């Protein structure tokens, strides 16, 4: 008997149908949810609650107005996220001597990390890589060193519609200089300490 496409699908569905959350874990989660959802003071102070909600709404409007006025542009938001990750200096999960060593990351990323043309001939050496995200898009964080053995961090991310709007720019954030540009359909971000 051949395993037809239909059989394959039916067997996978059957397998998943047999996987279920353990009853004791279900009880634990439901119990935690009800504790979060029914704070006792909500029931005792009905009138005050409405007044509180109104005050909260006014405060929220104020906050939204303030946030709108002080909102960062997208490039600055992205640069800040990249700078923060650069400063953390997390150890690469995947040590590498060259980009060829990172082909195993392709499946998860949807692209293969590569040496950007924009950095050609600048003497950078690849140390390793780790998965990360930029604005909720799956990205790769590449640790580089320059000729003076200083640490640089290069990000490569396949942009969503929002990130695709990024223009090439260079931004300084809290002592970190971040350069953003697009190359081969990816957004690149290069960070180093000033």
Footprint of other proteins (CB under 8 A): 1-5, 7-9, 11-16, 18-22, 25-26, 28-30, 32-33, 36-37, 90, 93, 107-108, 110, 130-133, 136-138, 158, 160
The 3-state DSSP class for residue 89 equals coil
> How far does CA 151 lie from the centroid of its chain?
21
Choose between 115 and 128: whose C-beta lies nearer to other proteins.
128
Interatomic CA distance for residues 153 and 192, integer angstroms: 7
- Nearer residue to other proteins within complex by CB, 2 or 149: 2
Least Cβ distance, residue 42 to other proteins (angstroms): 12
CB of 86 to other proteins, least distance (A): 15
- Type and span of the H or E element at 18: helix 5-18
Contact 181, 118 (CB under 8 A): yes
Cα angle, residue 177 at apex, residues 159 and 161 outer, rounded to 5°: 15
Question: Minimum distance between the CB of residue 100 and other proteins, rounded to whole angstroms?
Answer: 19
Beta carbon of residue 147, minimum distance to other proteins (angstroms, whole number):
30
Q: In angstroms, rounded to a whole number, what is the distance separating the alpha carbons of residues 182 and 180?
A: 7
CB atoms within 10 A of CB 85: 21
| Nearer Cβ to other proteins (108/147) | 108
Residue number with CB closer to other proteins (5 or 120): 5
Shortest spacing between CB 146 and other proteins, in angstroms: 25
CB atoms within 10 A of CB 17: 8
131 or 172: CB nearest other proteins: 131
Nearer to other proteins, 14 or 175 (CB): 14
State phi, psi for 71 to the nearest 5 degrees.
-65, 140
Q: With beta carbons less than 8 A apart as the criterion, state whether 96 and 112 touch.
A: no
**At closest approach, how far in Å is the CB of 1 from other proteins?**
8
What tokens appear for 113 in the block?
């990390």
């Amino acid at each position: 008997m051949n395993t037809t496409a239909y059989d394959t699908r039916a067997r996978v569905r059957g397998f998943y149908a047999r996987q279920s959350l353990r009853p004791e874990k279900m009880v634990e989660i439901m119990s935690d949810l009800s504790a979060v959802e029914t704070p006792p003071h909500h029931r005792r102070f009905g009138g005050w609650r409405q007044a509180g909600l109104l005050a909260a709404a006014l405060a929220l409007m104020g906050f939204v107005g303030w946030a709108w006025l002080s909102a960062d542009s997208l490039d600055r938001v992205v640069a800040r996220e990249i700078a923060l990750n650069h400063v953390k200096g997390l150890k690469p999960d995947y040590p590498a001597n060259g980009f060829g060593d990172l082909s195993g990351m392709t499946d998860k990323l949807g692209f293969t990390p590569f040496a950007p043309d924009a950095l050609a001939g600048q003497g950078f050496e690849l140390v390793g890589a780790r998965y990360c995200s930029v604005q909720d898009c799956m990205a790769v964080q590449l640790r580089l060193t320059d000729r003076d053995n200083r640490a640089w961090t290069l990000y490569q991310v396949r942009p969503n519609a929002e990130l695709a709007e990024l223009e090439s720019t260079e931004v300084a954030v809290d002592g970190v200089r971040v350069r953003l540009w697009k190359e081969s359909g990816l957004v690149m971000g290069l960070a180093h300490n000033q």
